[in-house]
Chain A
């Protein structure tokens, strides 16, 4: 867990996810405008962050669980393969996304919405290279094979996984909140017409790059 590069990567990816309007800050702004209250913007950010955290945690948990039973090299290949394939899919079919109509949303709806959007965009997948470092099979590849790991090591992987999700989500939340409040309070909606550049391809390339990193980052 003493891996500054990994923690920085987690925080940076969190910032990237927080910046993406499809991950939630825009929804929070819309809800604030609909209610004409800044508090409504803030209120929406919590469930959005929670849904994002759940989506990311699901992937991290899968990697850690797989790390306990799979050979490190195999896990690395599976993770990188999933990222490359998903990135290629997003590059080829940029318009696929979950369908959701509904602006009247409560805490549960927003959590679910955020979980669906994060999952469909592969937000958690993008964290696979880092998760691999914390999983017993991946990060401890040099120490031997997964099946021989002691229970203490599994516990420390779980702890590291939780911390990873926490750091990522905190960073995502901070960026999302800053952008949402800035747009709501100062910038205004006209910015959407100019500054909302199409980063879908960048996102897809980032997914594939993460796949490549997963292969080589040991």
Chain B
């Protein structure tokens, strides 16, 4: 298990990680929306020189049904090089794959054959409950000292949701992370500024608020999450709640600047009750005080109500629904998924306070239903989970959000797909006409690139 030299996929700083070799494989979770057959981890070939490029070349079927796999992450990454407790001679080898609905956590071994991953360990929901008090595990990040994971709530389906830690070699759950959670109750995502001992967490809803679908009553009452929480990563105490305003509903993916010297980051908001717009907000440290402000707003697009699902007919418009965002390793480009309107946007965020829209590609969408050269029919769903290669040149998207919510926004059903875009280093992006993976009735959620990607690693050493 220990190696003689550091794992070659670990890089001290984000700028060094940009020089990593091109990824050749991707892991993507595929879900059975009927919960009748087990979910799976599919392996995609990303090597353009390979005869099986853009095709599925392996699949690990999991032993249980109804897991609803969602996000997942590596056992170890560049954070292992952090000087506080360095352990660089471990391998980036295991994927920790939680079931968001079942609360079961799979540890998948990607060695010796990365195309044929195997199941290494299963943490049953009862064990997660007993050891952490949490349920519905969500985000996974490899930290300097442990694997960190968070969860939406408690076993009863209520809150609070929060963070827990796992030993990074045995994958034993060590317990809940928080020492003082202050006013935090809702959870969705978490990440950190390692150079500033700061953790950020965001808010969606408790399991009872989200599992049966988007609840219009809770939504119209502004009951979904609308805050960010700042924590002291070291003392594990709540520092500050940043309220975006109750009309800002569902504060999801957190993308802090990768450079550990920086103290800003971006978070996406799914929708505003005022006008169904979606937005991206910037948090930043201003003379010792954490602040947040809106930097991107994407308006709703008017639409013929007869083309809209029942949930939206009264509004006569398609909400953009920013459900995922991703930041390139050089902290220069922010990718924004508009899952409702079927658009992936690329912003130049060299000045994080003034993002500039520099690229846009349409795929699917509730009304637009934009197609793909390789797909025989108009696409269903829209760009949702977005992942970037470490050099920032390739962008991969999948189209499913969360099964019970998929049905509400795409009632005719979603056919799972993955697509790829090529990003111009100077800005702008184009669809790769040859890359289209059809998952059929299965739905694809998060994708992880072999060796790391723009949302898998965190760094302790700043860029030069």
Contact = CB atoms under 8 A, between A and B. Distances in A.
B261 A34 contact: yes
A101 interface: yes
B199 to A, nearest CB: 10
Contacts of A98: 85
A95 B8 contact: no
B157 interface: no
Given A95-B2, A194-B5, A30 B87 contact: no
B92 to A, nearest CB: 13
A148 interface: no
B390 to A, nearest CB: 14
Interface in A52-103: 94-95, 97-103
B299 interface: no
Given A189-B16, A194-B5, A198-B3, A29 B169 contact: no
Contacts of B462: 33-34, 36
A34 B144 CA distance: 17
A102 B197 contact: yes
A186 interface: no
B336 interface: no
Contacts of A194: 5
Interface residues of B, number: 38
Given A95-B169, A189-B16, A197-B5, A103 B84 contact: yes
A97 to B, nearest CB: 5
A190 B2 CA distance: 20
Contacts of B82: 30, 103
Contacts of B12: 189-190, 192-193
A100 B461 contact: no
Contacts of B274: none
Contacts of B197: 101-104
Given A33-B461, A98-B85, A101-B145, A196 B16 contact: no
Contact of A198 (B4, B83, B84, B461): B4
Contacts of A21: 83, 86
B233 to A, nearest CB: 6
A108 to B, nearest CB: 14
A27 interface: yes
Contacts, number: 91
B89 to A, nearest CB: 4
Given A95-B169, A101-B144, A189-B461, A22 B86 contact: yes
Q: Which of A33, A97, A98, A197 has the most CB of B within 10 A?
A: A33
Contacts of A197: 4-5
A200 interface: yes
A107 B4 CA distance: 33
B386 interface: no
A173 interface: no
A94 B195 contact: no
B4 A103 contact: no
B256 to A, nearest CB: 14
Interface in B81-124: 81-90
B146 interface: yes
Given A21-B86, A197-B4, A192 B145 contact: no
A97 B80 CA distance: 13
A47 to B, nearest CB: 14
Contact of B2 (A104, A192, A200): A200
Interface string B1-27: 011111010111100100000000000
B249 to A, nearest CB: 32
B84 A100 contact: yes
A131 to B, nearest CB: 27
Contacts of B87: 95, 97
A113 B261 CA distance: 21
Interface in A173-210: 188-190, 192-194, 196-198, 200
Given A95-B169, A98-B85, 4 more contacts: A34-B195, A95-B90, A102-B233, A188-B464
Q: When A and B form their complex, which 8 residue pairs have the shortest distance between CB atoms, in order from nearest?
A: A189-B12, A27-B83, A102-B234, A26-B83, A198-B89, A30-B83, A99-B145, A100-B84
20 contacts: A26-B83, A27-B84, A30-B83, A33-B461, A33-B462, A95-B169, A99-B85, A99-B145, A99-B146, A101-B143, A101-B197, A101-B234, A103-B84, A103-B197, A190-B12, A193-B10, A196-B5, A196-B6, A198-B4, A200-B2
Interface of A: 21-22, 26-27, 29-30, 33-34, 36, 94-95, 97-104, 113, 117, 188-190, 192-194, 196-198, 200
